[in-house]
Structure 1
Amino acid sequence: MRWLSFFRTIHAKLIIIYVLLILVAMQLIGVYFVSSMKNSLTSNFTQDLQARAEMLSVLAEQDLNGSDGKMEEDSVESLRARVNNLFDFSGAEIQVLDASGKVLITSQGSHADYVGRKNTQTVVSRALQGIRDNEEYMVDEDNVRKKVVAKPVISQGKIVGAVYIAASMTELYDTMKRINNVFLSGMLIALALTAVLGVVLAHTITHPIKVMTRHATEVAEGKFDQQMPVFGDDEIGRLSVAFNYMTGRLREALSQNEEEKEKLSSILTNMSDGVVATDDNGRVILVNRRASAMLGVNENEMTGRHIAVLLGIDPEETEALYSGSSASTLLQLEPAGQDEPIVIRVTFTPIHRREFGITGTIAVLQDVTEQEEMETTRREFVANVSHELRTPLTTIRSYAEALDDGAMGEPQLAERFVGVIRNETERMIRLVTDLLHLSRLDSNEAPLRMQPADVMEMLDEVADRFSFQMKQKHIRSGMFVEQGIGKVVIDRDQIEQVLDNLMSNALKYTPEGGNIRIEARRNSEGMLSISVQDTGIGIPKKDLDRIFERFYRVDKARSRNMGGTGLGLSIAREIVKAHGGQIFLESEYGQGTCTTFTLPMLGEGREAQ
């Protein structure tokens, strides 16, 4: 890790870059030099072979100019003497061929058996056709690279033979190898010297930077008395001078603004509410993050805007707030990025100066959305409870007065009145019981008794409890439990209450001859999904969003006549939420309703039978 951190430093980067530049430069020079040297040596070697072949072809012209292309014995010996004396050089084979391509003379004794045989190489064929520029590379059976040259022998405009020279290039490549070795050694020595020089050069650059970094860190920690040493009159020296000047100016500025900054920081940091400060013209000059979040406007965008425009307050009300005649006001805003509007209480406090009067205003913003919602909910709840209790109490009072006025003397009438009083009393008892249940759920005073429960068995029991009522209304029932769903860990009594409420609602609002179906499946999130689907009257779309509210009824008169309290779905939602699930409802008016709730799949399951 230490080596890795070293390679990330400027020191290491300068050395590496310096060495790489030298390496690349030497590589380019070396490639160019070696390539040029190789081309030069190869060209000279080829030209030498061409000159020798040309000279030999001229000397062989007289000996090959015999009748019918045949040579006398003394001509052959004379030509062999010329070849051995004038053209003998190491690693080369010289052949003289007649017009048919047969070898007449070869300079290598090991190839004496070639005499009298035809040389069928391409360069020989081209030479016998009169083409003078014939050369090629070849690798013999000993893996030796050779250069091959062939020249035609022409006498009196007629091709009487050819000269063939195959020279080994071993010495040429050995020379190139020695040159490469010398260049590589020189390059390694140069790189070593370059690395040493790079270290020295990098140190001269990075040492002032390290010193400056250390001083900058001390300045960041509040030590403004530190002075950066000046390392010369170059760029780094001028940077050191500028750094010292900056440190002095920063020390002066901070000392001047420290007191004001402490005041503002203390106010804004300790305020849990939003704070907006304006000048005497009502323009925003200071705002904290809380105010920016509440208004849904960026802090920079708020600065300079008029607070009346920012908050959407009428000019007359703004003037009253500025003057202090009105202390606060409630605003309903819809900040950007939030779906629901919020209610804000804005309290204005004018800033007074003895000689200039009001020089600005401090506006404190408090988010009272939750309090207002709770107050609204409380008022609605009290109104709903009062209404729900007043109706049966009024009925009981009316029938009690009728009994007191003489209805007791008529047995049949008295029995009917007493039955009405009993029904209304039972409805009030159910209402109070449901309210107490909801209260315990809201305050977490109804702990869940979690135990393994068989889903198939639980759904069978629920269907059995409502089978008699469904037979009376000729309603067909059905049930489906997906394979693999066995036991889940739940509070069975509470979940059965949810199912009873859903089945009761389905039974109430499904006409005779309809269908009710219960299904249990595993959804895509791995949770148990239980749904109760009916073919009843359905629910209008405008009522779907409020169907789980307490005391909310789609058809209030009909629901009350059927004995409903308007709390069943609210209780079901709270029970499902306590289990960590969700409940939702889908309905088409006139076509039916499907209520589904989900529960976590815990415990070991088994296949439903």
Structure 2
Amino acid sequence: MLKKPRATSSPALRYFGDSRSRSIWQWQLMIGITVLAIGLGVALLTPARFGDWRFSVGVFAILALTIIALAVPWHRFGNGGVFVLPLLDTLAIALIALGDTAAATFLWVFPVAWVASYYSVGILVGLMSLIAILRITNLFLLGLTVETTINMVILLITLSFVGVSTSVGAERNRSSRRLLRGQSDRLAHALQRVNEQKARTRRLLDSLDIGIARVGAGGVLEVSNRAFHAIFDIELGAHSHPTRAVEYRTRRGEPVPNNETSIARASRGELFADEIVWLFGIDGQWRAIKTSTKQIDHGTVTDDGLLLIVEDVTASIDPQAGQEATRRSISHELRNPLTAILGHIDLLLERDDLLPSVRDQLDVVEHAGTRMQTLIDQALATPGKREEAGVEFDLADVARASVEAFSPAADTAGVTVDVRLDEPLCVCGDAFRLRQVVDNLVGNAIKYAQRGGRVSVQGLRPTDHEVGLRISDTGIGIAAEDLPRIFEREFRTQAARDSGIPGTGLGLHISHNIVIAQGGRMEVVSEPGQGTELTVILPALQRNPSEEHVPFEGERA
């Protein structure tokens, strides 16, 4: 009975790409090359041997079978069709042996080993019986003697040993392969279950309103849910500290040093519960956050890190925050339909077939819509009354604090940050909003500089009445056609999208609005592949030289 061959991946698979076909080639080539070598040796040493038609026919039959084996599409034949090859090889070797070349009988090792490797014991016994019949017939034709009888017995015993050993070894190999395939299938199934469980856990975590993250060494967020990303203003795909949201001990109070933030403390394994910190996010909003850490492994701090649990409790601590959020949400929702209305009005005004009266009416609607859009922008960008009062502070101190906060991110990204803030840059304005601007620009510069790049933060005085901060990088740069639009809301350059670097397109828009509201301006110079240079210019603080600068309450020492 034939042993079932291993199924190929596709019935239409070409024979030269089929492992089964390659195995047939290997066996037949071994026989063919061996017989070819014997034929060449005989041709050089005793060419008269080819005068025996039996020897010549046997040799050329083997070579012909080898050529045919390389051309036949074996993936279309079963094991029964393949068995024809070793059977014909056996008969051809018998012809070679009849041609006064008794030693050629040991060539039967090849077809015997071939059949033993891929066929059942019954087929192997049948082949051995055929060889015995051929050999006995040959002995009776040539004359039976004691020596030829002994040689025949030795030959049959040797071939039987080779066949049995090969058959046992092949069966063990097949059993091992079946075992490995079974284990591989079980591992693949187990991995699939793990991935499905991981996906279910991720969906469960993302459905929670509280933020949860597993914090590893160095502040790496190994696992974090959607609420955690929203609270700490973390971009999709980012897993390192610091986040873009600045942490403060109290509202508009002292900034928390980078090594004392909630994430940094959790990375060191510190345990704390229900501690309140304030976050100043990229959207310019203050949020009161209740933070706690939990041990993962039965009360023992392990290499798995800690769970950091955060909850936005702004509404309960600051009732006005809920009203502010509602106002901003309504303003934001009004923006989308208003933008659509103004867009269609622009399209109508471009038509040449409008009556003058209709055009005048559309102009009125456009002016009203533009005014409403301006009011909405102000509602979205203007901070609360408590934040409107300006304070005196040093912009250089704000920049140093921002660079210090982003140092771990720069180290992780392999970016070198060069700071040149040698003189005070005194201004009067909203220090917290301008810190947001600096954080946006420094964070973007590090992000787009990429590994091996450089970022420069430099103070400057364009005029006697102005101070500035120039932040440049050696990153991907901005194309000339994109420069006029970089301050538009949610605009991202094609190069940034193609690079796969995460972003929302809000940072520069918000930063530009803040700088304009502070009476300043922003300038940008960029070249694709060479980097970008962004400069923030603000009115300098005008005062008498004898006046002593008093730091604002949130300024770093």
Same fold (TM over 0.5): no
Q: Which has the larger radius of gyration?
A: 1
Larger relative contact order, structure 1 or 2 (CA cutoff 8 Å, min sep 6): 2
| Structure 1 or 2: more strand by fraction | 1
TM range (shorter): 0.3 to 0.5
Normalised by the length of structure 1, the TM-score is 0.30
Normalised by the length of structure 2, the TM-score is 0.32
